[in-house]
Amino acid sequence: MSQIRTRFAPSPTGYMHIGNLRTALYAYLIAKKDPNGAFLLRIEDTDQGRLVEGATDIIYDTMRACGLQHDEGPDIGGPVGPYVQSERVKSGLYMKYAKELVHKGGAHYCFCDEAHIQALREAGGDSFKYDDPCKLISLEEAEKRVEAGEPFVIRQNVPTTGTTTFNDEVFGSITVENSTLDEQVLIKSDGFPTYNFANVIDDHLMGITDVVRGMEYLSSAPKYNLLYEAFGWEIPRYIHCPPVMKDEHSKLSKRNGDASFQDLVAKGYLPGAILNYIALLGWAPETNQELYTLDELVQAFNVKRINTSGAIFDPVKLTSINGLWLRNMSLDEYTALITPYIDQAVKGDFDRRKIAAIVQPRANTLNEIPPMLDFFDEFPSYENDLYNHKKMKTNPEIALRSLKAAEEVLNNIDSWDAETLHTKLMELPARLEMKNGQVLFPLRLAITGKANTPGGAIEIAEILGKEETLRRLALSIRQLEA
């Protein structure tokens, strides 16, 4: 095991769940911590009844959007393919190893279908796994029945006494009584392997050294180890991750309407910010650093700092981190990113870069941007009551006086730029014996029709231009005078 090899092995059953994406991220980080490490993508589609058309493309698109580039996988190939389980089934791979396991004493043929097994289990309790009548059939007789085409499943043999101990990097050493372990089905009656069998075979054949998965599989680890031991294979390192929780009592679930990665992107969150946030769900860095690029996460990540308790998904915290990501961009990069969102609300010929400059300090998600900008194309109607502002110490009477003075100043400006606008308008408060807010707040309201806007009066006036600014200002003055 000179090379670290990890895998992300999703089932194509729908959207990319946040918990699944975090598993992929942690597996990626562990692999990339090793300069020679490899991160594999394997599609586990043995549960044919739950497959969703297009779900595999969603997996590819999500990984690509997040920068989680796999080194081997169904789309790029590799030395241990195929990387789709259904393709491996067709080759007879799992059946071959299951029959080998039967001969090694780690499993047995069972001529009851899964429904019958479940009924017997419910009727007989735990004793069923020891009293399975199929165990009384000799291997020779069982193989004759298989040759004759009799339906069968293959089930794991579990010791009836003793214990099985395994080590997990997050939860430490865990010991379970063998009497509590179920003799699980390994090969179903349709010839497909169960998840619990296929992932052990594939992990071994693909040389996986570190298995990253959800904590819900912690209870299955002893049975996996029994399979590894029966084959005489080396057991990989386990990293079981605590769940991502909706609240203290329930896990995040797409079934319950909780956000998937695709939902969050559609709501205006950046893939990098989402990845940054979910990395911190259940993992604590050694410093107080909050923002991480993917490369920085590779350097900082340590499995020993994964928590054992579930982490609650906090949309407010995610929004905060997303806002910081947006504000950390250069203005050129930010303008290129948000221009499509500006264009949703602004059809007029206004400078997109200047609009981006006033939006960047204020928008925390991309979807917040269009509603902020609806006043550029159309000057909305508004009530004069908006001029009543306790903090700014304004009312309609004060506003009318300051707006008339501002109109006179603006009419006489030839060079319409932010610097000139600022110089001329900031002379007004002293001349009128007013506070700055008593001049600038009414002016902003008078040219936007809104109490809250990105950017101040000077920035917005510059973007609107002289003609449009004076047109709106005149309308607002007439409204106040009326």
Query: What amino acid positions are annotated as catalytic residues?
Result: 254
**Greatest Cα pair distance in the chain:** 107
> Are the beta carbons of 10 and 46 closer than 8 angstroms?
no
Q: Take residue 422 and report the two structure tokens written for it.
A: 């600022």
> Half-sphere exposure of 421 toward its Cβ, with a 13 Å CA cutoff?
21
Cα distances (Å, whole numbers) of residue 352 to 15, 325, 343, 453: 34, 20, 9, 16
Q: Which pair of structure tokens corresponds to residue 413? A: 């400006």
DSSP assignment, residue 380? -
For residue 392 the two structure tokens come to 């700014």
Pairing type for strands 185-187 and 153-156 reads: antiparallel
Strand-strand pairing, 38-41 and 172-177: unpaired
Structure tokens at 305: 């700092």
Using CA atoms, how far apart are residues 114 and 218, in angstroms rounded to an integer?
A: 23
Up-side HSE of residue 394: CA atoms within 13 Å toward CB?
Answer: 28
Q: Which helix (H) or strand (E) holds 172?
A: strand 172-177
Phi, psi (5° rounding) for residue 185? -75, 135
